[in-house]
Structure 1
């Protein structure tokens, strides 16, 4: 049995990290950090606290439910950005976009095989799924999403999920795994107001970037 040398393993790890970063497209969420999150908003303090805790020690599952504009994506992005600083291999993905990444491998111009991309997604050290429940509910989409989540459930792999659906609206097989208190202690319900509808004067001003 051939064993890859350390240099090849390191190169493979770098490629994996780069592929995950490219798929995550976190450049669009660089300003979404814990420092820029408005903790004065109603109904967000516990969510903020749990997000910070998870970023310090990513273990188990963290699930946020809430309406549009309450800060779910901001906290999910902040977790991803913080863990990247700690050199974790993180995949942040809006669920419909994630499924599009998988579908794209079937195109004639795709340079990536389906199996490679599917494995990359399901085996990410930290997987952050944003907007669960907004995906196109075709049988194929439901099955692929279940396979990813079930794989991570069986492996007890750190996972963050956000959704603007009510818990009972989540696909039953997925909801059953999310409800296992051995891996997900609680659902974090964010019941605040839509931050996007606030006048600019009422929004928290983001801190100025630190000078190098």
Structure 2
């Protein structure tokens, strides 16, 4: 959300930075971590901007780690699933370029003061079924990373340029 906010601020005439001044380092970084994918309010502009970033990094084979608290379920009619939150195009691209890893555990932010590992284990064991929780409180992060060249999903296709 912070990245999108900075990019959006470049449209303000009083800001001297241009959109590409912000986007270029994001697209050129050797390693980029996009945290909490899908948490931003969805709009056509958000989807286009994220598509540009993801496609550019994919085409240039740059390492990118994505995290999300949204379930990657096959039910794309669920408004709380990852595909509904980030859009079909980005979701499809992530499945092409990434290995998905699921981490299941208690949210350490709900620990009591001075809580420890034992408290986390107790919280995790008593955790209700994720399907009964509202979207913003599901604790099922999806993490992904770029597949190695020659990996099972490497199609040997250089792809087009983002935005073309």
- When the two structures are superposed, what TM-score results if normalisation uses the length of structure 2? 0.60
Task: Verify the 8 A CA contact 1:130 1:163 in the aligned structure 2.
Answer: yes
Indicate the residue corresponding to 1:174 in structure 2: 90
Which of 123, 126, 142 is equivalent to 2:31? 126
Query: Within 5 A, what are the aligned runs for 1:82-161?
Result: 96-161=1-66
1:198 aligns with 2:111: yes
User: How many matched pairs?
Assistant: 106
- Could you tell me how far 1:97 is from its partner in structure 2? 1.1
For residues 89 and 9 of structure 2, what CA distance do their matches in structure 1 show?
26
For residues 200 and 188 of structure 1, what CA distance do their matches in structure 2 show?
30
- Could you tell me how far 1:155 is from its partner in structure 2? 1.4
For residues 90 and 13 of structure 2, what CA distance do their matches in structure 1 show?
32
For residues 114 and 15 of structure 2, what CA distance do their matches in structure 1 show?
46
Q: Which stretches in structure 1 are left out of the alignment for 5+ residues?
A: 1-95, 205-212
- Could you tell me how far 1:195 is from its partner in structure 2? 1.1
Whose helix fraction is larger, Structure 1's or Structure 2's? 1
CA offsets, 1:93-135, max 9 Å, x none? xxx1111111111112212111222222212221110110011
Task: Verify the 8 A CA contact 1:104 1:110 in the aligned structure 2.
Answer: yes
- Could you tell me how far 1:202 is from its partner in structure 2? 2.8
CA offsets, 1:149-172, max 9 Å, x none? 011111110111110111242321
- Could you tell me how far 1:176 is from its partner in structure 2? 1.2
SS at match of 1:128: strand
Task: Verify the 8 A CA contact 1:167 1:175 in the aligned structure 2.
Answer: no
**C-alpha RMSD of the superposition:** 1.5
- When the two structures are superposed, what TM-score results if normalisation uses the length of structure 1? 0.47
Structure 1 segments of 4+ aligned residues over 6 angstroms from their partners: none
Task: Verify the 8 A CA contact 1:127 1:158 in the aligned structure 2.
Answer: yes
Q: Which has the higher contact order (CA 8 A, sep 6+)?
A: 1
Q: Which stretches in structure 2 are left out of the alignment for 5+ residues?
A: 74-81, 118-164
SS at match of 2:65: strand
